[in-house]
Each structure stands twice: as structure tokens, then as C-alpha cells.
Amino acid sequence: MSDSLHIVCPHCTAVNRIPSARLGESPRCGKCHGELFTGHPVELDAAGFDKHVGRGDIPVLVDFWAPWCGPCKMMAPHFVQAAGQLEPRVRVAKVDTEAEQALGARFGIRSIPTLALFKGGREVARQAGAMGAADIVRWTQGHL
């Protein structure tokens, strides 16, 4: 493993090179100076998705959800809590499948919420159904 990682900025999608030893020291984006890890899931559109999944060196956990989905809303605060625990080892993100229908179709998302974990640009695990924060963290760590 190299001693620096490409981290995509959640605010401006610039690709930053961060020494892995300094990942936990609240690194900031060299371009927009925003925090690279905010403790909150990043809302991704198709371009943002491709940047984070394709260019970032850390795994990306994605919650495919929709505004009309009750279980998705119930899971949302748990997902935020999980983000706080999984960062900075994992980029935690959300895709609104209503607004980004092409992304949902591309990954064949049939039920929501669906969690999918991406590593090295490829999907490595998927789980449908709402989960609590502890289960989200455990499930993610089990696939890292």
C-alpha cells in the first residue's frame, strides 16, 4: 500500500493526495479548503459518483435511497451515525435514485434502501433493506 491516498473532496470533487498517516487529522482540500471528511454522507450525482468511486483510493459506501421511501428516511440518521464512525477509512455517500435514475439503473437497484460498497472502482458487496448504525458499520467493516 502506498503511503499517500487520493481523496476526493466532498465539496468541489478535487482529487487531493493525502499521506495516509495524516488521514485522521481532519485534512482539508487543497482547492476549496473545505474539510475532506465532514462526518456526513456526501450526496452524489452521476459525475460525483464517478469521481469518488473511480478516482478515490478509499472504499465508498453508497446508500441508494429515494425521498418517498419510508424505511430510507428511518435509516438516514443511522447512516449519518455510521458515517461518523467509518470516516476517514471509508467515504460515505448517498445517491437519490429519484433524482439520479440513470445511476440506479446502471447498478440495477431494485429495492431501496440498498447499501453498496465499492473498492477500487468495483462493487464488492451489496445489501438491501434498512439497517441500524451498528449493523451498517459492522457490515461495511466485514467487507473492507
The residues pairing with 5 across neighbouring beta strands, listed in sequence order, are 18
Using the minimum distance from each CB to Zn ion, give the nearer residue, 27 or 104.
27
The C-alpha cell that represents 19 in the structure block:
499521506
Amino acid identity at 87: E
Residues in the chain: 144
Using alpha carbons, select from 114, 113, 64, 60 the residue that is nearest to residue 87: 60
Q: Which stretch binds Zn ion (CB under 5 A): 12-20, 48-56, 92-100, 111-119?
A: 12-20
Site string for Zn ion, 15-34 (x = CB under 5 A): --------------x-xx-x
Stretch that binds Zn ion, among 8-16, 70-78, 85-93, 125-133 (CB under 5 A): 8-16
Minimum CB separation from Zn ion for residue 12, in Å? 3
Shortest distance in whole angstroms from residue 76 CB to Zn ion: 24
Helical ranges in 13-122 per DSSP H = 46-55, 70-86, 101-106
Total Cβ atoms within 10 A of residue 15: 16
Candidates 60, 77, 63, 73; CA nearest to 8 is: 60
Catalytic-residue membership of 12: no
Q: Nearest approach, Cβ of 16 to Zn ion (angstroms)?
A: 8
Residues marked active site are found at: 69, 72
**Where does this chain bind Zn ion (CB under 5 A)?**
9, 11-12, 14, 29, 31-32, 34
